[in-house]
Structure 1
């Protein structure tokens, strides 16, 4: 696959192309159009770039909308590849070439990103931020005893909660306007204990769900236990990685479902705790099982059926 690497900064884009071209474009709408035209002329199919404080979001969207496959690397991936290649020098042009090499090393890619989801993900991030703000204000309220101060904080909590509800309703309406996304949303809601927010997070932040194996789905969320063995040493399995915002939403949903709303998860949690697992280990295992349920429902394309609980 013919690739290009882009090192993104706030004002400019340093570009390295598989055929040896090196050039710089501005990181604005006009620069994105010129970049797309030059990459199209060169026959580029896949473009790699490093996550850079969201400065990459607009150029990514501009390239995806005209048909490029875009891979956004975690900065740790690029740093690790730099070490693997034994590179010490670092500047924007060198970084663009390194990202090009890392992009080419990916081999054949998966399905192209859904261009509709970028705007939905940004809207979901706003809802997450409002949730965090509400939690912070509740913590602050508990710190104060002065009635006036508490009234102010309670008013802010009500204002933020009202705004969150409005934004959530707006995003759900946007998702339901697309028949395929609306179907995924409805299928996920059929799972006991999986509410609107978690279903929305799955639809918006995990479009791969339903096309993955159980292990792949759990790893992508960040609830898969990884081995830590060497020689005769058998280390403790730990979860790691995954998509942070997605993992947080799934964990909170599993916490509630495994204590109240999902009979299968309630029984599963009790069985694990009775077998000697800590409460947190049991909840993480329930989160993993919830991911398996969601993956199975979307893979089958039919609502949740308790008789399929072993899936």
Structure 2
């Protein structure tokens, strides 16, 4: 890791209509409109400073900025807001406004040197949007089905049924669109074939893994488990030995993987045998499922890394 004081970072607090910036090298604070002309001037400044840009994930507002800066050859890191808040508290910074946030983000970037993003892939971004919408629609189907079970009035039940049918039609369209995006991209298609060879991994799981976990196959087993939030984290202090827990990570991927693993514990011989062995040793079902999720994602990671299908992976192990 480089000496943090020599690193040039521009911290940006992103909001819908404006950007607050802080430059670590010259200490300059700015507030600019979040529009194309301003972005052009901003890019020129950053290139002159030879700086890396660090910003928080803001639920989507940052994407336009990242795309533009990357198109100008500027490295960008998008950081989980919780990490920034924890860093601010650790530094004793309890005040909060946009200008202060920009300064804290810049300090975080200079001190922690977060990993910069790879260039945004339009096809993967499209697939990610489709996969996210699919999860939303599936959630609404579940909610409406639960409501229907609690209602006795025939007319209201009919209204709910029509809503469910509408969502089910949209679900099929989303599945078709995701398949089209994958089939049109050779790299995605190859990844899809590898993932689908594992029993328990269906088209929706495959699309989510490709879109939401591009690091799959690029990290080691410990790193990929931690990224998804499935690595047991140590909580020891002195003589106290805390219980290892899994948390944080990418929640959407974890939800998708949970459902895939449930299927795998029934139909995938390797995951099923591992699951049953854990239960025989007295492990609680919830803990056993989590362990199976961790094993499943590390196997899939190995398959992607070695460009192997499931059968080939089993023969090699």
Q: What TM-score comes out, normalization by structure 2 length?
A: 0.90
1:229-253 Cα distance to aligned partner (Å, 9 max, x none): 2222222221111111111101111
Q: Note the 1:155-194 alignment, pairs <5 A.
A: 155-194=162-201
What is the alpha-carbon root mean square deviation over aligned residues? 2.0
Instruction: Report the secondary structure of 1:238's partner residue.
Output: coil
Match of 2:58 in 1: 52
Q: Distance in 1 between matches of 2:315 and 2:258?
A: 19
State the 1:60 CA deviation. Answer: 2.2
State the 1:310 CA deviation. Answer: 8.2
Q: Note the 1:98-137 alignment, pairs <5 A.
A: 98-107=104-113, 109=115, 112-116=118-122, 117-137=124-144
Which 10-residue stretch deviates more, 111-120 or 289-298?
A: 111-120
Match of 2:219 in 1: 212
Is 1:277 aligned to residue 283 of structure 2?
yes
Q: Distance in 2 between matches of 1:29 and 1:172?
A: 34
User: Structure 1 regions of 5+ residues with no counterpart?
Assistant: none
Is 1:249 aligned to residue 256 of structure 2?
yes
CA distance change for structure 1 residues 32 and 136 in 2, over 3 Å: closer, same or farther?
Answer: farther
2:22 to 16, 19, 23: 16
Q: How many residues align?
A: 309
Match of 1:143 in 2: 150
Q: Distance in 1 between matches of 2:179 and 2:114?
A: 34
Is 1:70 aligned to residue 88 of structure 2?
no
Which 10-residue stretch deviates more, 222-231 or 299-308?
A: 299-308
1:131-184 Cα distance to aligned partner (Å, 9 max, x none): 111111111111111222212211211110110111121122113222112111
1:291 to 294, 297, 309: 297
Match of 1:238 in 2: 245
Which 10-residue stretch deviates more, 31-40 or 139-148?
A: 31-40
Match of 1:225 in 2: 232
State the 1:36 CA deviation. Answer: 2.4
User: Are 1:273 and 1:282, in contact at CA under 8 Å, matched by a contact in 2?
Assistant: yes
Q: Distance in 2 between matches of 1:114 and 1:179?
A: 17
User: Are 1:25 and 1:34, in contact at CA under 8 Å, matched by a contact in 2?
Assistant: no
Q: Distance in 2 between matches of 1:28 and 1:257?
A: 48
User: 4+ residue stretches of structure 1 with deviation over 4 A?
Assistant: none
State the 1:79 CA deviation. Answer: 1.3
Instruction: Report the secondary structure of 1:23's partner residue.
Output: strand
Q: What TM-score comes out, normalization by structure 1 length?
A: 0.92
User: Are 2:79 and 2:114, in contact at CA under 8 Å, matched by a contact in 1?
Assistant: no
Q: Distance in 2 between matches of 1:310 and 1:157?
A: 45
Q: Distance in 1 between matches of 2:73 and 2:153?
A: 58
Q: Distance in 1 between matches of 2:194 and 2:312?
A: 14
1:85-104 Cα distance to aligned partner (Å, 9 max, x none): 23234332222121111112
User: Are 1:191 and 1:293, in contact at CA under 8 Å, matched by a contact in 2?
Assistant: no
Match of 1:201 in 2: 208
